[in-house]
């Protein structure tokens, strides 16, 4: 099994366009580690325990970096990639309110939703750490053999239910704290009272923001995974360098 793991590790290191000669070099490192000819920095050949521990450490680094970014001020609001906007079914509501001079209330509602997402995202790290800690050798094999986002998909599978359960009350409290519930109620109460042929709208604000917050966190988890797989500079510990062949 270790031979397969090491081959997979070598292949992953070359996904970003590594030249053929470098690929051979990584493969040779894998062979040397298998045979015991190449010693790690701490002494001893690379083992399954090293690989498993290295992957756990990589995921911990990525999870910490991702959650720090999205939970920072403007982590959501200042990033067009993950910014929480009005849900698609509310676009007609938003447009109508802006047309009648209520754009300020709409903008405040959007700001409040993003502040809630930022506030809740700080709660994600421990849930990720718990999932990473419980990762088995078989999980590690699947991640190494998977695509560039295999670790992200693993975390999604293992943590989405727990994250949703943890995020929802935090986001509800955050929305209340920044008066998002009030702004949301103002927006939709005003809209629903207008003489219009549009269907009345009453979306679940907390559920919607929770879903968008989780999406934003995983966007950054995937970004961090890509860096650790492809960029030696992101392999910030001796163990990561040892597992990924950067001696």
Residue pLDDT, tens place only, 20-43: 343 334 334 433 443 443 344 444
* CA–CA distances in Å: residue 8 to residues 103, 137, 160, 190, 191: 53, 14, 27, 58, 56
What confidence category does residue 160 fall into, taking pLDDT thresholds of 50, 70 and 90?
very high
Of 178, 176, 163, 177, which is closest to residue 210 (Cα–Cα)?
Answer: 163
Mapping DSSP to helix (H, G, I), strand (E, B) and coil, where does residue 123 land?
coil
30 located within any domain: no
Burial class (CB in 10 A: 0-12, 13-18, 19+), 114: buried
Question: What backbone torsions phi and psi does residue 193 show, to the nearest 5 degrees?
Answer: -90, -10
Number of domains in the chain: 1
What confidence category does residue 59 fall into, taking pLDDT thresholds of 50, 70 and 90?
confident
Alpha helices, DSSP H only, in the chain? 2-13, 20-35, 48-71, 91-99, 103-121, 124-133, 137-145, 150-177, 180-193, 205-230, 238-243
How far apart are the C-alpha atoms of 220 and 15, rounded to whole Å?
Answer: 19
pLDDT value at residue 13: 38
Q: Look at 110-124, 182-196, 218-232 and tell me which has the smallest mean pLDDT.
A: 182-196
Of 243, 238, 233, which is closest to residue 6 (Cα–Cα)?
Answer: 243
29 located within any domain: no
Q: Does residue 71 surpass a pLDDT of 80? A: yes
pLDDT value at residue 199: 67
40 located within any domain: no
Residue in the block written with tokens 């802006």: 98
62 located within any domain: yes
127 located within any domain: yes
Here the tokens at position 161 are 């239910």
CB atoms within 10 A of CB 133: 10
How far apart are the C-alpha atoms of 242 and 13, rounded to whole Å?
Answer: 12
pLDDT value at residue 78: 96
Q: Mutual orientation of helices 150-177 and 137-145 as an angle, nearest 10°?
A: 100
* Residue 77: DSSP 8-state: T
138 located within any domain: yes
219 located within any domain: yes
In which domain, by residue range, is 195 found?
53-243
Do residues 32 and 238 make contact, with C-beta atoms less than 8 angstroms apart?
Answer: no
Here the tokens at position 96 are 């109508």
147 located within any domain: yes
Q: Does residue 114 surpass a pLDDT of 90? A: yes
pLDDT in tens, 174-204: 888 777 777 777 777 777 777 765 666 656 7
What confidence category does residue 236 fall into, taking pLDDT thresholds of 50, 70 and 90?
low
pLDDT value at residue 57: 83
What confidence category does residue 75 fall into, taking pLDDT thresholds of 50, 70 and 90?
very high
Q: Mutual orientation of helices 91-99 and 180-193 as an angle, nearest 10°?
A: 80
Question: What backbone torsions phi and psi does residue 159 show, to the nearest 5 degrees?
Answer: -120, -15
Q: Does residue 74 surpass a pLDDT of 70? A: yes
């Amino acid at each position: 099994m270790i031979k397969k793991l090491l081959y997979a590790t070598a292949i992953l290191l070359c996904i970003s366009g590594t030249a053929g000669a470098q690929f051979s070099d990584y493969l040779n490192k894998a062979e040397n580690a298998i045979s015991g000819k190449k010693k790690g920095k701490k002494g001893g050949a690379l083992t399954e325990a090293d690989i498993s521990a290295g992957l756990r450490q990589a995921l911990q680094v990525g999870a910490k970096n991702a959650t720090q970014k999205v939970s920072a001020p403007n982590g959501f609001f200042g990033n067009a990639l993950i910014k929480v906007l009005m849900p698609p079914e509310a676009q007609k509501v938003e447009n109508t309110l802006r047309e009648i001079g209520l754009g300020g209330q709409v903008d405040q509602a959007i700001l409040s939703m993003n502040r809630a997402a930022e506030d809740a995202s700080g709660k994600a790290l421990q849930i990720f750490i718990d999932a990473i800690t419980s990762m088995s050798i078989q999980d590690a094999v699947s991640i190494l053999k998977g695509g560039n986002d295999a670790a992200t998909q693993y975390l999604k599978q293992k943590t989405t239910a727990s994250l949703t359960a943890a995020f929802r009350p935090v986001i509800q409290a955050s929305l209340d704290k920044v008066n998002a519930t009030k702004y949301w109620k103002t927006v939709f109460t005003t809209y629903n009272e207008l003489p219009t042929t549009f269907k009345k709208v009453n979306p679940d604000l907390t559920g919607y923001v929770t879903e968008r917050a989780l999406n934003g966190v995983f966007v950054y988890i995937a970004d961090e995974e890509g860096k650790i797989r492809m960029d030696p500079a992101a392999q910030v510990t001796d163990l990561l360098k040892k597992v990924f062949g950067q001696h």
